[in-house]
Amino acid sequence: MSKVPPIVGEPDAPPQKLRLGGMALRNGLLVHGPTHWAAAVRNREGEVEVASGRKPSLGGDATERVPGLRGVVKLAEAMAVIPLVKRNLPAAKLPMQDPKTLGSMAGAAMLGQAIRSSGGRTFMRESAVGLVSLLPALFALRSGDLAAYHGVEHKSIAAYEQDGEAAAATKEHDRCGSNLVAPMLGAAAIGNAAARRAGLRGPAAEAAVALGSAAVAVEVFAWSERHEGTRLSRMLRRPGYEIQRVVGTREPTPEQLEVGNAALTEILRVEGVSPA
């Protein structure tokens, strides 16, 4: 699960601390800062490879004060980094870069279509489709080292933010993208059911609902950060926390933490920040 990029209205980071996001790879870690990205992986020979570069801009600065749109653009900018990582670091293995995971994605798509074709698009039926769509991600996390490197992501970033040691940090993080799952699924279920009742069908309607649900999820995420400590904020974060705790993360080995440290050191270098 990737970290959600910052948007306007979120609490400021501690002085001189970068706001870092990231994404676990199957054999390493991708970290992105305000202007650059950095990735580190352990290759087949057991060596740690590192690469970095500047992040592409898709208009995040121009939309930072537009609720809904700002979150979608920030997420798009984070996703645009992925092909750059593969080009500059060919040894990197993406989360879904696995034949079994790709097979599970195809199976989930077929099952979701079967559920939809069994009747009208009601909220309950769309909720079931949304849950089925999660299965490939859960399958990917339970195979290989992806969950461990997800733990590396959280522990490395938390150690930097708290001036601590990664090994001592918790493997769950409040800013994990898993916190987007519940509001996104809920918004998508409501949106798809409403679109069908309004007579809207086809790829364009489904794409509009998908973008809208992502926008809603990011705004809910940002609201929870601005109101951290409230009962509602804790309720909104609980599903994401449980996903992390139960299936999304695993305690990494010292060798895996070494890879995370390499990625963190590189992002601080290219962002021009001292690690001390």
pLDDT value of position 38: 97
DSSP code for 176: B
* 90: helix, strand or coil: coil
Angle between helical axes of 181-197 and 203-226 (0-180°, round to 10): 140
Structure tokens at 12: 């400021």
Tens of pLDDT, residues 133-156: 877 777 777 777 999 999 999 999
Mean pLDDT, range 7-14, rounded to an integer: 45
- Identify which of 35-39, 78-82, 172-176, 195-199 has the greatest average pLDDT: 35-39
Least confident among 107-111, 116-120, 206-210: 116-120
∠ at Cα 58 (33, 71), nearest 5°? 70
Residue with structure tokens 């950060």?
A: 225
Tens of pLDDT, residues 27-76: 999 999 999 999 999 999 999 999 999 998 887 677 777 887 887 888 88
Provide CB contacts within 8 A for 91, sequence distance 6+: 27, 41, 43, 44, 49
Question: Would you tell me how many other CB atoms lie within 10 Å of the CB of residue 195?
Answer: 19
Higher per-residue pLDDT: 124 or 219: 219
Q: How far apart are CA 272 and CA 263, in angstroms?
A: 14
pLDDT value of position 4: 53
Q: How far apart are CA 49 and CA 159, in angstroms?
A: 22
Over the Cα atoms of the chain, what is R_g? 19
